[in-house]
A and B are shown apart, each in its own frame.
Chain A
């Protein structure tokens, strides 16, 4: 009994002199996996046009009914997207979203992609609605932009985003 007791005590004491395995989260962020499904982004074409054509297939595919798409006709002189229509309103309710990625699969133009951002907390329920201007990437950031966290690691973005049309 004494032998076992001291063996156990020795085991715990050994860990006193080892470096803790804790990751100091806000300062140190562990990289996510390549295929991690985090916050959505609405991608663009290389020429800066929106990929989303407002077809609402993502909304139809969404099992949690989190996506609202209101399409509108493109202005032929200054089109937002290469198709006939574009998404005038594109909202995702992050309280409903289950990050399943079905919207990604449903999208015919690869416009919506679940990226690697996972810090999605907010203080009121209204902030859970992510509107189009929050989701849409900046115009100069065309398609194929590698997320910063993956740039640091020299990794490529998640597979759906690599498929170009």
Chain B
């Protein structure tokens, strides 16, 4: 590795980190506006609005993330007198760093560059838009996502506050519970692709996204990832009605901003991972013929650049769609109870994920070469199983058995 390579690597790291932070900042804006529109409101529409005449404005709110950062930066930084000082100070870092380094192995696009550039980025070729092609990329992702909970746990502990502590304990328990289902859902993809490398998993999805054969795994992954990044409806960690603000109650100014950033960066990263594993990563039909046409007419460098930028755009759009789904779910589903959370994780998602692995293994053994048959069977079985499970599982009582009021021997039930 020459000196120039090191410089290029460092530049790539910095660009990726800044890009991740920028995308996260705009994710907060996207969430605020999206959530507002889903709730019949307007959302932030002031900062940076450009007047276009006639009293109308366009692009209202596009500077809102900047305004938020400036506000948080100039707020007073308070430290509780009884806090564990050093732990309290490094806790935000512990939360942000994992959220930031998740991005290292995600191929956010395919821009072939260097001596062995190849369109489509097969294994071994150089890709400008993937920081590190590691042979165990998936294990890295799983390890880093679960490390993220350390930031929350030590933040809650160091604050010396009951509510923060409770929030941190809840976070630890929740993340450990859903880690299993998440890991097993990812394992289905790994078995399907036969590789732990993110680059190879994307390569395997050419023309055939893994959401089809791994439909069950995709649903499990979405639910478990939502719980893993402690987001609504699984946001018991910061249930403000019960815990004030959860683990970040005692943090203010930039320390709070760090937690906020980490939370949203983890959310975007989880959606990016879901895109990589299930939705074909940067792949999209028609990209490759276009790039081949461009490189035939304008030279291979232009073709590679077009392919790189388009694949990056495709990846970001796919991620944005999944982010919208997260926002949509947050706007719709109320927070679930703690026992329901644990039931869902251990009694439903874990068995389903195990079944998914068994199904994938059996189908891969019986139809090793016929992807259409095995994928179709897996999709149908997954869909039917999900419908059955949602129909029969869950701690529901029949409506007639729910007692609404109990008053002097009389019972008023909800049944009609």
Contact = CB atoms under 8 A, between A and B. Distances in A.
B386 interface: yes
A20 B37 contact: yes
B241 interface: no
Interface string B17-49: 000000000000000000011111110000000
Q: Which applies to chain B's interface (DSSP): helix, strand, loop or mixed?
A: helix
B387 interface: yes
A21 B40 contact: yes
Interface string A2-35: 1001001101110110101110100100000000
Nearest to A11: B332
Contacts of B39: 12, 15
Nearest to B329: A9
B333 A16 contact: no
Nearest to A3: B390
A12 B332 contact: yes
Interface residues of A, number: 16
Contacts of A1: 390-391, 393-394, 396
B41 A22 contact: yes
A16 B38 contact: yes
B87 interface: no
Given A20-B41, A22-B41, A12 B390 contact: no
Interface centre among A5, A8, A20 (most CB of B within 10 A): A20
A18 B55 contact: no
B134 interface: no
Given A1-B391, A5-B333, A12 B41 contact: no
A15 to B, nearest CB: 5
B40 A20 contact: yes
Given A2-B386, A2-B390, A8-B333, A15 B36 contact: no
A21 B39 CA distance: 10
Contacts of A16: 37-38
A22 B33 CA distance: 13
A12 B391 contact: no
A98 to B, nearest CB: 31
B293 interface: no
Contacts of A9: 328-329, 332
Interface residues of B, number: 20
Contacts of A11: 332
B123 to A, nearest CB: 39
A35 to B, nearest CB: 29
A66 to B, nearest CB: 35
Contacts of A5: 333, 390
Given A9-B328, A9-B332, A15 B40 contact: yes
Contact of A20 (B36, B55, B386, B396): B36
B328 A12 contact: yes
A1 B42 CA distance: 31
B331 interface: yes
Contacts of A15: 37-40
Given A1-B390, A2-B386, A8-B333, A13 B37 contact: no
Nearest to A20: B42
Nearest to A19: B40
A35 B38 CA distance: 35
Contacts of B393: 1
Nearest to A9: B332
Given A20-B42, A22-B41, A22-B42, A8 B36 contact: no
A11 B328 CA distance: 11
Contacts of B390: 1-2, 5
Interface string B292-336: 000000000000000000000000000000000000110111000
B394 A8 contact: no
B55 A12 contact: no
Interface string B379-402: 000000011001101101000000
Contacts of B387: 2
Pick from B38, B387, B394 the residue with the most CB of A within 10 Å.
Answer: B38
Contacts of A8: 332-333
Nearest to A1: B390
A18 to B, nearest CB: 6
Contacts of B41: 20-22
8 closest A-B pairs (Cβ-Cβ)?
A1-B390, A22-B42, A2-B390, A12-B332, A20-B42, A8-B332, A12-B38, A15-B40
Given A1-B390, A5-B390, A11-B332, 15 more contacts: A1-B391, A1-B394, A2-B391, A9-B329, A12-B38, A12-B328, A12-B331, A12-B332, A13-B38, A13-B328, A15-B40, A20-B36, A20-B37, A20-B41, A22-B42
Interface of A: 1-2, 5, 8-9, 11-13, 15-16, 18, 20-22, 24, 27
26 contacts: A1-B390, A1-B391, A1-B394, A2-B386, A2-B387, A2-B390, A2-B391, A5-B390, A8-B332, A8-B333, A9-B328, A9-B329, A12-B39, A12-B332, A13-B38, A13-B328, A15-B37, A15-B38, A15-B40, A16-B37, A20-B36, A20-B41, A21-B41, A22-B42, A24-B42, A27-B55
